[in-house]
Each structure stands twice: as structure tokens, then as C-alpha cells.
Amino acid sequence: MFRLTPIVKNLIIINVVIFLGQMFAPKIDIGSCFGLPEGVYGDDVVTAYLALFNVHTSCFKPYQLFTYMFAHGNFMHIFFNMLSIAFLGPILESFLGQNKFLLFYIITGIGAAVFSVAIDLIMGGGAGSMLGASGAIYGLLMAFGMIFPNMEVRLLFPPVAIKAKYMVFIFGGLTFLMDRSGDVAHFAHLGGAVIGFIVVRAWRNQNQGGYF
């Protein structure tokens, strides 16, 4: 049974409410964003406004670097992301405090999006959009492994206990190995982990090498 802390609980509620909005919102045509004929590409109005669109399309707006992390593609997407927040978040929130935890979550979520946009600018990328809390979650995963490296964590899938520092490498590697279809924002995951690492190191340095 998960013991949800206040910020974690509110994050889950916000994500679930937005997902319900995505499910029942009317569809709109956004094909023009990608230079496609009218009616070729559509999405629900909530996703159309919140998702992070490729920077090369006319649908891209800077505010999407923040809003994308609260929208999800389907039930399994939000289920596993919220399960991850419920698993990692409460311990980190209790350790960091509510304000610092929320700040960390937002910084890593936005940082993951900026990282992904930078890759698109360098490599071109294709038409499409990105959404989901995974970038921020990989930031939480990195922080968990750095702050509690030797804490034994019992996984749900598979049901084994491993040290947190190994969990970071396992899940960090799986994101690149398990899905090669292009539907997973691997660079956003990597970006969230990298930004999480940088933030934790910076906060430690501010406290003369201590934790925080």
C-alpha cells in the first residue's frame, strides 16, 4: 500500500483529471501544423493544447515545455507513470520537503523537454508530439539512486529486491532497449535523468558536499 505524500497525491490527481479530459474532449483537426491537408491529422482538444509538438511545426508553443508532462497517450501510459510517481515520490518528498520536491519535479520535467527539443533542432526530427510525465520521473529515478544508493527496493515487475543505484542503471537502460518503434521519447527520458543528476549535484555542492 502506497503512502502518498501531499505533493505526490496532488500530482497524481492533476494528471488523472487531465487524462479524463483528454478522453472526453472533442476532436479537432491539427493537420495544418504539419503541412498536411485538412482532416488528415486530428487529436482531442486537450492534447492539442497541452502536448509538446515538434519545434519544426507551427503547433509548437514554448508553454508546452511545461504542460506536456501532465497529459498522457493512453491508460497504460498514465497508469505506469503514476505508479512510478507513487513509488518514488513519497520518499523523495519526505526527504527534500514539499517545496524542493515540487521544484525538482518541474525542473526535470521541463529540462527533459528542452533536452528533447535540442535534439530535434540538431537532428531534425519528424512531425508529431510528445506527452507524459516520464521525463520528470526519470529525474526522480536518478535522484532516488543518488540520494539513497544502497537502499534496497522491492520491485513489482519482477518481484525482486535490488539496491537503488542499480535500479537507475537497469531502468535507464531498458528505456532504450525495450521499444525501438519511435513511439517512446527516449531522449526526453535521458534528458530527465541528466537534468536530475545535475540538480542533485548542484544542491549538494551548495551544502558543502552534504546531501541537502
Reduce the DSSP state of residue 31 to 3 states and report it.
helix
Length of the chain: 212
Mean pLDDT to the nearest integer, 72-92: 93
1 located within any domain: no
Which CATH number is 12's domain given?
Answer: 1.20.1540.10
* Structure-block grid coordinates of residue 51: 502536448
Residue 180 clears pLDDT 50, i.e. is over it: no
Read off the pLDDT band of 210 (50, 70, 90): low
Count of structural domains, the chain? 1
Going by DSSP bridges, is the β-strand pair 152-154/129-130 parallel, antiparallel, or unpaired?
Answer: unpaired
Give the gyration radius of the chain's Cα atoms: 18
Read off the pLDDT band of 12 (50, 70, 90): very high
pLDDT, residue 75, reads 94
212 located within any domain: no
More confident residue, 156 or 85: 85
Read off the pLDDT band of 181 (50, 70, 90): very low
176 located within any domain: yes
Residue 207 clears pLDDT 60, i.e. is over it: yes
Average pLDDT, the chain: 86
Mean pLDDT to the nearest integer, 162-169: 83
**Weakest mean pLDDT among 44-53, 78-87, 138-147, 156-165:** 156-165
Which of 26, 37, 30, 24 has its CA nearest to residue 51? 30
Read off the pLDDT band of 51 (50, 70, 90): very high
Mean pLDDT to the nearest integer, 30-55: 80
CB 105 within 8 A of CB 144: no
211 located within any domain: no
Give the domain range for residue 137: 6-206
Residue 50 clears pLDDT 60, i.e. is over it: yes
Give Cα separations from 57 to 116, 124, 127 (angstroms): 15, 11, 7
Mean pLDDT to the nearest integer, 121-137: 81
